[in-house]
Amino acid sequence: MARMKRAYNEGTGANENTTATLGIVGSAGFIFLTAYFLFVYKKSMGMTSRLSLFIVSGSLLAIVGGFSSVVVMFITPQIRAYNRISVYLAFFSFFALAFLIGRNKHRLSKYVYLPLLLGLFVLGILDQTTLGMKINQPSATEYLSDKEFFQKIERTVPRESMIWQLPYMLFPETPHINNMPDYSHLRAYLHSDGLRWSYGAMKGRKPAYWMQNMSMLPVDNMAEQLSIIGFSGIYIDRSGYVDAQKEIEGKLASLLDVSPIISKNNRLAFYDMTKYNVIVRRKYSAEELERKKRELTSLSPAIVMADHSLNDLSSGKSVNIRFMSGDASSTRAGKVVGSANVSGIISDNTVSLHGVSSHIEFDLHKKEYGLSFWACPDEKQVIYADLVSNHKAGFIGYGIEQNGSSAPQFNFGIGNGKEWRTVRDIAIKPQVWNLIVLNLRKLASERPTFLRHGIDNCPLG
């Protein structure tokens, strides 16, 4: 059977589906339910009839070229990985056999019934495992280290405390940050049920932009703002930094005046903000704290706000837009850095965007207009950071975004309502002011016109 499976995988091209096979016991249940649906199915919808209906409909949905293709073509392409329905099909298959044996229990003596159950259990386990399957000792050691670490945090801060997680990581699906794999921050949720963690804001939405800009502030500004909002501690995954001590922990330990809780494997660190929070609360009056908290949690720092409606651009009317920056050199997250004129023709007015998180974003779709601005990106960029965009759900809009490598490399992509497609790469030089002119008159034909001109080095800092 193993040789047959290898031959099948080599002929069809297997990925994660290589671990989705049902095995002998599951296959028996699957075949039984399929045959039952074809030859015995009753509209009375008893348990077996329902299970057989689930099996057949699930298979028709997920099979290559099945009804999932119809969903993609005519409803939405955003549902993917239909092969993962195999987990449900396996459950229905195993449950069918268990139900069948249980329903006929009275017809079997205990000398047949119990050995039959035990035999199916042992056969199923042997069929679904291999001799090479064993406990991964490094993973087990790391798991126990994490467990002890998070238990210490729960004993340190009150229940329901908010904990800020660094480095900021996009969710879902993002490349490694140095040696920190995707979804690493989820370990906090795995080992803790009494604390609230910052990781998990959906990328492309306001909370994610807000968190990204907050994480890029200087340490003293970030800590004070987190304190005002109500956070009780800062959690750091050191594998996400080249040198965590130099980049952030040295400043944080000095500012908060605490020694961190460190995991056994030295990967994770937690800084308690209790003492620091008392200092911040003494610094401002209750009214000032409440006002600052409202301002900080409004989500406005990360989103560009338009002065006027943008619906009249197709008639050639001009519209002024404010552009905002969450640049790390700012004294606060979010400041107006300039204004530009957007109209039915390319405008001569310009706005300057400087640093790692300055950007333009507005709600405008299927209109013809031109936009010109100066951009001076830093050498290291936030992955997939937008320079200018009007993303919407359902693969609608466009964007000039960083290409995912954290380098100052950008591309232009367009969503046609079915998929997000990269149209072309854009050469934008780092630490140089680039004049970028974007003519979106041809957006419908997916042939936008670009002009980029690099001039003198821009001042950094």
Per the CB < 8 A criterion, the answer to whether 284 and 277 are in contact is no
Q: Where are the beta strands (DSSP E) in 196-286?
A: 196-197, 231-237, 261-262, 268-272
The partner residues of 374 in beta bridges, in order of sequence, read: 352, 435
Query: Does the global pTM surpass 0.75?
Result: no
Angstrom distance (rounded) from CA 421 to CA 418 = 9
φ/ψ of 5, rounded to 5, equals -65, -45
Mean pLDDT value of segment 424-435: 74
Burial level of 338, CB count in 10 A (0-12/13-18/19+)? middle
Residues of the chain with pLDDT > 70, as a percent, come to 70
pLDDT score for 410? 81
- Asked whether the beta carbons of 386 and 361 are under 8 A apart, the reply is yes
Q: Report how far residue 417's alpha carbon sits from residue 78's, in angstroms, rounded to the nearest whole number.
A: 10
CB 408 within 8 A of CB 353: no
Q: Quote the CA–CA distance of 250 and 258 in Å, as a whole number.
A: 11
The Cα–Cα gap between 84 and 102 comes to 28
Cα dihedral sign, 99-100-101-105: positive
203 in Cβ contact with 384 (< 8 Å): yes
In angstroms, rounded to a whole number, what is the distance separating the alpha carbons of residues 38 and 12? 28
Question: Where is pLDDT greater, at 76 or 288?
Answer: 288
What's the rounded Cα separation, in Å, for the pair 447 and 449? 7
Concatenated DSSP letters for 212-246? HHHHTS-HHHHHHHHHHHTEEEEEEEGGGSSSHII
Lowest mean per-residue pLDDT among 92-96, 177-181, 211-215: 211-215
- How far apart CA 357 and CA 354 sit, in angstroms, is 8
Question: What is the tens place of the pLDDT at every residue in 221-266?
Answer: 899 999 999 999 999 999 999 888 888 899 999 999 999 999 999 9
What's the confidence (pLDDT) of residue 264? 94
**Mean pLDDT, range 300-312, rounded to an integer:** 30
Q: Average of pLDDT values for 8-24?
A: 72
More confident residue, 203 or 274: 274
Residue 135 has pLDDT above 50, yes or no: yes
Contact 269, 262 (CB under 8 A): yes
Chain segment 396-408, per-residue pLDDT in tens: 777 777 777 767 7
Instruction: Tell me how far CA of residue 204 lies from CA of 117, 177, 180, 256, 273, in angstroms.
Output: 51, 18, 21, 32, 29
Parallel, antiparallel or unpaired: strands 231-237 and 268-272: antiparallel
Nearest CA-CA partner of 86 in 128, 120, 125: 128
Reading the block at residue 42, the tokens are: 């009753």
- Give 186's pLDDT tier (boundaries 50, 70, 90): very high
